[in-house]
Amino acid sequence: MDTGSPRLRPGVRLTHDHVRDTDMVLLPEGVLVLNETAAAVLGLCDGRRTVAQITDVLRERYDGVRAEDVTELLADLAERRVVSLGDRQGAGLDDPAGVRPDD
């Protein structure tokens, strides 16, 4: 996963609920309330940054960031279909043919 460039999947939106003062992900099938760490990671998932670059940015902002934790969180979010773990050209690793659905 170190060379992948995670991005939010089509139909997924990162937002902040001002009433509850919490970050969340809006999914086609529901809502996922995020903790501060997950929100920080997802905020960096733009499809251009690699996992290593995301980890580096987080290390600049926070103490004690471990690459293993970032990788594990992204794997969990990919399993929940929140992020796509694409390669540097943007083709999805979860799609062996490398064909991306239209955004």
Answer yes or no: is pLDDT of 100 > 80.
no
Stretch 52-70: mean pLDDT:
96
Q: What is the pTM of this model?
A: 0.78
Among residues 26, 44, 22, which one has the least CA distance to residue 35?
Answer: 22
Give CA angle at 50 (43, 54), nearest 5°: 45
For residue 40, name the pLDDT band (cuts at 50, 70, 90).
very high
The residue type of 102 is D
Rounded distance between C-alpha atoms, residue 4 and residue 64, angstroms = 22
